[in-house]
Structure 1
């Protein structure tokens, strides 16, 4: 103590005296039940509290990160952790100094704390080791506990490195449309081939059975608890690659052995604590970043996401921060089948389709006349398809599994190895794609009225955007707005607003019969019943089909049956409801140039009885990863609109 007083001098002592007094007072507020200091003496605790006050440890970045404190609008701090068992002081969620004092106090006893029911030294190992490092604990005066449960858990990993895993978006599940991130703990004795046996660190909402649409609603407002869990990687691969048919990208992180240890210690602390889960904010990607910050507190990753967090943006941030090393991919089962089928001749594709429908046909002379290597290749592709459709299918997968056994028996009779085919994911490396937010500046004409336009989109990607890094033939737009100023008006007006606009085109081929679908909720501007620029609320949806060809480079043809409801003062009854259909084509003319054409006819039978005939032509030319030129023409019920724009992604 004398040493610290000499270093501070008289003026420094009086500056920190209020802090020492506050910490001592807060220590007295810690519940005294069970606090009998069996592991050390009260004088040493007081000494550690004084040192912590002198060093202002409660204000240091490491402590703030371990407790997940964030600045509030009123200038204080509040922890994002929502489980009361995570805090040892009654006011620990908002008071870092009180929580530090309570933590040091609990280190001196073996009373169990938190949901894990362990002594504080073992329940909060990351806090313990950091404070021991900063305060130089004397093991004779504060004996360390063995913490066997943590040691066994930690040793099971035999950790060497950490990899960030990114399964790409899955359009048929609202919680997975934007992708997902979790961590894999790579063991010292594992190879790239055996890492499927590693354990993962995953953060997800705890959902009731069959949550469905309920998840999309409650997940927006934090009504589900989110927990960390450790799950074998092969189970996650089965879930994402084999059942959901999502390509997986693996990013090896540049973390030292010490950083890996810090990350795992903090993961242990969070094992039985929860955060309120927010679909767009505190989601899987956000809290995975918080673990990486615990490993290396000097990086400020969470500061980049004050409002919402999109998983691919977090991957891009890690790469830009220099934390990403080797990048590898793990193609989905669907990608394996599609790539293999694409490399076959027309005759071989026919045999593949027949083998899947009826494996007995592979005994026919036509199949047996193929070279044995090609037979083996077709049989392996058939097995991949049958595995894809049997994974997670329960009783419905029994016919596929029986067919697969027949295919595998035939394959075992061929003592050859087919030539390897390079399998590339259809979703290219996600972090190398365009930014998920977009702003555009343009000009054009509407019925011979000139205008300037500024547009903004919060997220994520549309059918005409540059495709690298994103799910092909899929569109997800959330919170978009366009503001126009017409030359003959004195003020700007909101031309369009989109709450959500989703389109999934699923090309049908010999192996896939998935439907295409679309949904849109928003507002646009119409010309109707003499009103030139009237706001019009829109809610629509459709189901359809798509096919692809390669007449130029690649084209996707689509058709939808759809329904639409509108609300506007331009209608005689202020609303109308009807249905109809849309046909169109989406074409990659070159690697940089994309074109989309569509036509829609809708007839409204309820409310304002009317009809709409619409045409759309859109073209995009990519200048660079985050810059594009676009021209769009819209025709709607004698209303013509042309706009040229330059768009920047960020």
Structure 2
């Protein structure tokens, strides 16, 4: 970490100390030196660190909790999730932890967006800062506004270690650090802070190139006696979805009508259901209206009037809430498979036998072991495949995907998100003359996903795809295309499957190309998976069939 706390600290000692005596400005280092060098404090001037004492006593730290906010697919900086610390005092328990303090490290990105935001974030062009704020502000931001589940891991730091952690945070103050989305990010900086709290762990040193939040959590919890307990705080959308599963079809229809203003709250009492069902319908209607309010989907004062009327109608039913809290998922994010993956595959394509060697540094694919990951979400970086063609006795680069993102979120009457995908890289593709050539391309699409079944174990996505490929082996050097795709994904225990049918009309062909593929994944272990895939495709006037069996190991 940087040792200077101010941009002009090297030239201006007063600015570096922020107007404090060195013993106060660098209080953690001072206490460490006292212990390490056995300094006799009587030989040092007496210094009162009033500012630090007021700050420390106001927080009154006793326990430290590591908090993980689940992935937010709409932001490149948060696709892997986010970590922060919560500082609890002796007065904080399960009923009032929202008024604890949160320690957050984040990049100051200004108003940047799009490609500029991504490029600057990947290259460390943004400064990152530590900040202290009430925990309820972060809960509102992640749980409510961004609809992200939170996992809270209470850590087993001793009283002395908690004090040392807080002293170090005081030293850091508003020190800027280069912020890299994939390495020196929120999770990496928190590891460095915890390393100071408990010397000898050297957690940050383990992440030389990439620091994925779930990976860093696993490293922290692997320390002896570190995990005290884990708690789950479902997002506003998660709670609402679970509420809807507790209503039948007619009750869901009524709740939607109440939220939309198509029915009056009094109709809940005249629909022939008991007070328990009425309470559930009114609560769900209010929660849905509040959810849309938080998302910014509705404006004006009409919805606030409806929310008030729903609350008044609910208050007239003298009964505790019949809506049950969402159950804690069976697997925590830290119990998911490791992010890196290697694999070996044996297959046959167009009457040629081949062997694939595969490596992917991060992070998760649809058919990878599912526990601990969101269903329908895929995030891959630098997925590389080297292929040995046995018949020709040669080696070639089959694929190098720079990134491959797929977000499939089911729609229904209440939730109507867009599903999308985008990927880019180098790939062997059919070319004129019955050959396959390495091409550089970009593909993406947008569409709708629909859940099938009460638990949405099957996701059917319909999308419009576009692609752009370039190679000197193409007649026009560049070819662009667009067309529909239907994809059906299913998860059932250790078995996962994905069926895709796609048609594309390219600019250099009069006849559309098409592709039919089916993939199956079998989870053998948390970090071991078997994959079976088959495909038939028609492109540049040639049809090719392929089949492959692969074994993947995660680490």
TM range (shorter): over 0.9
2:525 matches 1:624: yes
Which blocks of at least 5 consecutive residues in structure 2 are unaligned?
Answer: none
- What is the TM-score normalised by the length of structure 1? 0.81
CA contact (8 A) 1:576 1:608 kept: no
2:485 to 576, 582, 585: 582
The answer for the alignment partner of 1:21 in structure 2 is none
Task: Provide closer, same or farther for how the CA distance between residues 123 and 608 of structure 1 changes in structure 2, counting only shifts above 3 A.
Answer: farther
Task: Provide closer, same or farther for how the CA distance between residues 537 and 212 of structure 1 changes in structure 2, counting only shifts above 3 A.
Answer: closer
Alpha-carbon separation, structure 2, partners of 1:361 and 1:553: 31
CA contact (8 A) 1:440 1:455 kept: yes
Greater Cα shift, 407-416 or 352-361: 352-361
Greater Cα shift, 376-385 or 305-314: 376-385
> For each residue in 1:606-625, what CA deviation from the matched residue of structure 2 results, as whole angstroms up to 9, or x when unmatched?
x5666320111000011011
CA contact (8 A) 1:85 1:115 kept: no
2:208 matches 1:306: yes
> For each residue in 1:246-269, what CA deviation from the matched residue of structure 2 results, as whole angstroms up to 9, or x when unmatched?
000000011000000000000011
How many angstroms does 1:603 deviate by?
0.6
1:230 to 132, 149, 160: 132
CA contact (8 A) 1:453 1:484 kept: yes
2:377 matches 1:474: yes
Task: Provide closer, same or farther for how the CA distance between residues 237 and 553 of structure 1 changes in structure 2, counting only shifts above 3 A.
Answer: closer
CA contact (8 A) 1:86 1:273 kept: no
CA contact (8 A) 1:168 1:247 kept: yes
Alpha-carbon separation, structure 2, partners of 1:365 and 1:490: 73
CA contact (8 A) 1:113 1:119 kept: no
| SS of match in other structure, 2:220 | helix
Alpha-carbon separation, structure 2, partners of 1:297 and 1:125: 16
CA RMSD of aligned residues (A): 2.2
The answer for the alignment partner of 1:527 in structure 2 is 430
The answer for the alignment partner of 1:458 in structure 2 is 361
5 Å-filtered alignment, 1:394-543, equals 396=299, 398-419=301-322, 421-424=324-327, 428-543=331-446
Which blocks of at least 5 consecutive residues in structure 1 are unaligned?
Answer: 1-67, 69-79, 91-110
CA contact (8 A) 1:586 1:594 kept: yes
The answer for the alignment partner of 2:544 in structure 1 is 639
2:437 matches 1:546: no
2:100 matches 1:195: no
How many angstroms does 1:82 deviate by?
6.6
Alpha-carbon separation, structure 1, partners of 2:410 and 2:297: 26
How many angstroms does 1:397 deviate by?
6.8
CA contact (8 A) 2:6 2:15 kept: no
CA contact (8 A) 1:197 1:232 kept: yes
The answer for the alignment partner of 2:149 in structure 1 is 247
1:119 to 21, 28, 33: 21
How many angstroms does 1:214 deviate by?
2.3
| SS of match in other structure, 2:42 | coil
How many angstroms does 1:387 deviate by?
2.1
How many angstroms does 1:503 deviate by?
0.9
Alpha-carbon separation, structure 1, partners of 2:8 and 2:283: 51
The answer for the alignment partner of 1:321 in structure 2 is 223
How many angstroms does 1:555 deviate by?
0.9
CA contact (8 A) 1:426 1:471 kept: no
| SS of match in other structure, 1:364 | helix
Alpha-carbon separation, structure 2, partners of 1:412 and 1:389: 22
The answer for the alignment partner of 1:264 in structure 2 is 166
Alpha-carbon separation, structure 2, partners of 1:398 and 1:436: 47
Task: Provide closer, same or farther for how the CA distance between residues 397 and 602 of structure 1 changes in structure 2, counting only shifts above 3 A.
Answer: farther
2:463 to 560, 564, 571: 560
The answer for the alignment partner of 2:199 in structure 1 is 297
| SS of match in other structure, 2:173 | coil
Instruction: Please tell me whether Structure 1 or Structure 2 has the larger radius of gyration of its CA atoms.
Output: 1
The answer for the alignment partner of 2:246 in structure 1 is 343
Greater Cα shift, 518-527 or 424-433: 424-433
Alpha-carbon separation, structure 2, partners of 1:521 and 1:319: 35
| SS of match in other structure, 1:644 | strand
| SS of match in other structure, 2:394 | coil
- What is the TM-score normalised by the length of structure 2? 0.94
Task: Provide closer, same or farther for how the CA distance between residues 82 and 208 of structure 1 changes in structure 2, counting only shifts above 3 A.
Answer: farther
CA contact (8 A) 2:268 2:281 kept: no
CA contact (8 A) 1:584 1:598 kept: yes
2:62 matches 1:157: no
How many angstroms does 1:476 deviate by?
0.8
Alpha-carbon separation, structure 1, partners of 2:19 and 2:416: 52
> For each residue in 1:78-97, what CA deviation from the matched residue of structure 2 results, as whole angstroms up to 9, or x when unmatched?
xx45755596699xxxxxxx
Task: Provide closer, same or farther for how the CA distance between residues 397 and 273 of structure 1 changes in structure 2, counting only shifts above 3 A.
Answer: farther
How many equivalent pairs are there? 550
Alpha-carbon separation, structure 2, partners of 1:375 and 1:117: 62
How many angstroms does 1:147 deviate by?
1.2
> For each residue in 1:407-456, what CA deviation from the matched residue of structure 2 results, as whole angstroms up to 9, or x when unmatched?
11111111111335141366941001111111111101011111111111
